[in-house]
Structure 1
Amino acid sequence: MNKKQAVIICTLLALIVCAGVLATKLNSPLYVNGGETGTGSSTVSFNNNDKKSSKSQFFDEAKLTRDQKSAQTLQTLKTLIDDKNVSKENRDEAAKKYTELAMNTNYESKIEATLKSKGYEDAICSIEDNKVRVIVKGKDKLTDKETREIKNVVIGIAKTQEVEIETKQ
């Protein structure tokens, strides 16, 4: 190994260490609790002991699940649309459903972003069969003004009159 290779290796090593430190500072720190040294087992735990983070996990998990299902459905529909062995009628129907699902996904994210900009801590929106379901994070029951505000946002974006609103902590 010559001097140039040694400098490159040391530089890469320093960059890896910097990336690890930066990742630890930006994300929740990762603690490795070593068990007894003789057993060779260790426990990895993430520092997520906050009550707030466990309560907001519902919203994060619900969004993640919804997004995964939407992506999977969109992929299935895309496969049907691209398959030449499927009849034209079925491909047209799949294309219609694909467009509808893509638009609904777009509307959901717009509604959630708009509600957050209006001061709501978190929100989940799902659109199915011309019905919109909105779950807003809050401790108290929504006032009539807040309910009207949410309905106006939904009607303005999704152009759907049927709106169901819930609150969840």
Structure 2
Amino acid sequence: MNKKQAFIIATLLVLIVCAGILATKVNSPLYVDGREIGEQAASTTKSDVIADLRLKRDTENARTLPTYQTLINDPNIAKEQKEATLKKFNTLSANIENEKKIEAQLQGKGYEDSFCQIAEDKVTVYVKAKENLTDKQTKDIKNIVVNFTKVKDVEIARKQ
């Protein structure tokens, strides 16, 4: 296989993934929990912002992981593309696990609820707290995040 063929295959693979994502978005349900999507957005309150963020993150992960798995198992995909997809799959899987561990640690620290999202070079954490976070609380949260992720760029915010 020469470079031109590899480029064509990679381009077609990207188009297939994009078509799959688009098809998933177009075919998504119009109702969630018995309410229309617009109705759900209007009824969102401050108290369930973290739950909504977690649902959105988990839904996106539930769409992405099977796509990666399909590409990894496809015998028609170039070895380099499989390796890159496998690396993305492993990174995403590790991030999902670490997000859950961080959220559990924060709940163990006494926070009512929390949300953690790990990007490549940044971690975002929201904690449900009635009062502003103290410097000590912020440092504790950052230490928990750094221990699991080794990422030092941590954004921490309070949600009521």
TM-score, length-scaled by structure 1: 0.66
> What corresponds to 1:114 in structure 2?
105
Sequence identity (%): 45
Structure 2 residue 61 is the aligned partner of structure 1 residue 64:
no
Q: CA–CA distance in 1 between the matches of 2:136 and 2:82?
A: 44
Q: CA–CA distance in 2 between the matches of 1:141 and 1:134?
A: 14
> What corresponds to 1:104 in structure 2?
95
Structure 1 unaligned spans of 5+: 1-43, 46-52
Q: CA–CA distance in 2 between the matches of 1:107 and 1:99?
A: 12
> What corresponds to 1:145 in structure 2?
136
Structure richer in strand, relative to its length: 1
Q: CA deviation at 1:113?
A: 0.4
Tell me the amino acid that sits aligned with residue 69 of structure 2: K
Number of residue pairs matched by the alignment: 119
> What corresponds to 2:158 in structure 1?
167
Structure richer in helix, relative to its length: 2
What CA deviation, in whole Å up to 9, does each residue of 1:21-54 have, x standing for no partner? xxxxxxxxxxxxxxxxxxxxxxx99xxxxxxx94
Q: CA–CA distance in 2 between the matches of 1:69 and 1:98?
A: 13
Q: CA–CA distance in 2 between the matches of 1:56 and 1:98?
A: 32
Structure 2 unaligned spans of 5+: 1-33, 36-43
Structure 2 residue 149 is the aligned partner of structure 1 residue 155:
no
TM-score, length-scaled by structure 2: 0.70
Kindly name which structure, 1 or 2, has the bigger radius of gyration based on alpha carbons. Answer: 1
Partner SS for 1:126? strand
**Which has the higher relative contact order, 1 or 2, with Cα contacts under 8 A spaced 6 or more apart?**
2
